[in-house]
Structure 1
Amino acid sequence: MLRLIGSLSFIWLLMATSTMAQTWPPPVLDADGQPLRSGVEYYVLPAVTDLAGGLTLVNLNNGSICPLFVGQEPLAPVVSPGTSVIFTPRVADTVIRETRDFTVAFTGPTICQSTAWMVGEQNPETSTRYILAETDPNPSSNAWHFNIVKNDLGLYNFQWCPNCLTEVCPRPLCGDAGIVVENERRLLVLDGPAFPFIFRRA
């Protein structure tokens, strides 16, 4: 009888462990094969080399500096890795996981109010949504919550498709993040071809 109870307990523990493992998506890996960690600085670099540099803040405004937009360093003889970022999971965790929401912000001070990424309004001429750094993240808004997905080639894409944490949360118009060139500036936008990135620890 005791042996039967022990066997049943082992089977239950095995099933519970298997169920828990299935509920946690795999971690996003950096260029060295290590999980992306919350609060650690990383450079976001193109997965395809010889295209441009890393992601950084770009000024698109005439006369006004703020808000700043998320863009990409241009291709140059010495390619810049851009400005490092910090990822913060929406739900308490120590690593960044595939398909799980997080906020992302550039490190270092600027003259603008915030360096946290957010989704801006749709451009009526191009039907794209720019990603910019405008205000500090609002926990009740989905505009700041991004996630990372792996494409068919095993490379990582940014996506804006926030997970609803309440039953009344309306599903947003999801989009993959890609690069467009406007006025010789490379900008990160939604609603276009996805652009793959890698993450290198700063």
Structure 2
Amino acid sequence: MMKLSAFLSFLFFLLLSAFATTISAEAVVDSDGHILRNGGKYYLSPATPIGGGGIIASAIRHGDSNFCSLAVVSALFTNGWGVTISTYLKVTFIKTTYPVNLAFAYLAPNVCTDSPNWVVVNSLPLGQPVMLGGAQEFSAASVPGQFYIKTYDAEKHYYKIVFCEQGKDHCGDIGVKVDSAERRRLVVTDDKNPLVFKFYKVKESSNSDLSMVV
């Protein structure tokens, strides 16, 4: 009886350890090794010097009209803007298996959009760039789907962002394409060359320098 009890205890310990390892492997952590909080604000900083620049928004003019929209871009020589990372799931922390909403935390008032949310649209010649706004702003051009954060190098806390389009059986990496105005636009790509990030927690006192639309 004692041997059976000891065996069951050992088996329970193994199962608990395996469960804890799985949970840990799925957790997304910031540069300090802390798990990303649901609704937390973070800088998406390039993991390597060649990975790109800080993530901000840039105004895109449409012809000679006053109509504009905001594109999500990778800009050099800046820390970027804080991004709120959240999931609709009723959880405290963010994991690689959770769909996430990405939104600039301190978007300045502007004439292009009143929504800070990232959205993927169909737009030639870039393919599927990442813009700001709601799906209704882009009508039929908006692409239904979900963003996810996926591990790129667990030991270094490197991550990439993928977009999984509704109805498709694979997800595309978020990478960069340069447009005709030399802007480094974030786009959904299948070229296996994703932007690789580390997440740095935003200090609330630093929000004053995050809001300028360029």
On whether the aligned pair clears a TM of 0.5, the verdict is yes
Report the counterpart of residue 166 of structure 1 in structure 2: none
Deviation at 1:81, TM superposition (A): 1.2
Deviation at 1:189, TM superposition (A): 0.4
Deviation at 1:51, TM superposition (A): 6.6
Amino acid across the alignment from 2:32: D
Rounded to whole Å, the distance in 2 between the matches of 1:31 and 1:187 is 24
Contact 1:118 1:144 in 2 (8 A): no
SS in 1 for 2:6: helix
Rounded to whole Å, the distance in 2 between the matches of 1:201 and 1:45 is 10
Q: TM-score under structure 2 normalisation? A: 0.71
Report the counterpart of residue 161 of structure 2 in structure 1: 158
Deviation at 1:157, TM superposition (A): 1.2
Report the counterpart of residue 93 of structure 1 in structure 2: 91
TM-superposition CA deviations, 1:151-184 (whole Å, max 9, x none): 369532111127xxxxxx7335521111111112
Contact 1:116 1:144 in 2 (8 A): no
Amino acid across the alignment from 2:27: P
Contact 2:73 2:184 in 1 (8 A): yes
Contact 2:103 2:118 in 1 (8 A): yes
SS in 2 for 1:17: helix
Report the counterpart of residue 69 of structure 1 in structure 2: 71
- Residue of 163, 169, 175 corresponding to 1:178: 175
SS in 2 for 1:121: coil
SS in 2 for 1:145: strand
Instruction: Structure 1: state its 5+ residue gaps.
Output: 163-168
- Give the 3 Å change call, closer, same or farther, for CA 87–144 of structure 1 in structure 2: farther
Contact 1:113 1:135 in 2 (8 A): no
Rounded to whole Å, the distance in 1 between the matches of 2:3 and 2:143 is 50
Report the counterpart of residue 7 of structure 1 in structure 2: 6
Report the counterpart of residue 165 of structure 1 in structure 2: none
Rounded to whole Å, the distance in 2 between the matches of 1:161 and 1:22 is 26
Deviation at 1:105, TM superposition (A): 0.8
Amino acid across the alignment from 2:119: M
SS in 1 for 2:49: coil
Contact 1:150 1:157 in 2 (8 A): yes
Deviation at 1:135, TM superposition (A): 1.0
- Give the 3 Å change call, closer, same or farther, for CA 10–81 of structure 1 in structure 2: same
Rounded to whole Å, the distance in 1 between the matches of 2:14 and 2:120 is 40
Rounded to whole Å, the distance in 1 between the matches of 2:40 and 2:30 is 11
Contact 1:42 1:201 in 2 (8 A): yes
SS in 2 for 1:44: strand
Instruction: Structure 2: state its 5+ residue gaps.
Output: 137-141, 203-214
Query: Is the deviation greater in 144-153 or in 179-188?
Result: 144-153
Q: Aligned residue pairs: how many?
A: 185
Higher helix share: 2
Deviation at 1:188, TM superposition (A): 0.5
SS in 2 for 1:21: helix
Q: TM-score under structure 1 normalisation? A: 0.75
Q: CA RMSD in A?
A: 3.0
Q: How does 1:68-147 map to 2 (within 5 A)?
A: 68-73=70-75, 75=76, 79-109=77-107, 110-111=109-110, 112-123=113-124, 125-126=125-126, 128-135=127-134, 143=144, 145-147=146-148
Contact 1:89 1:103 in 2 (8 A): yes
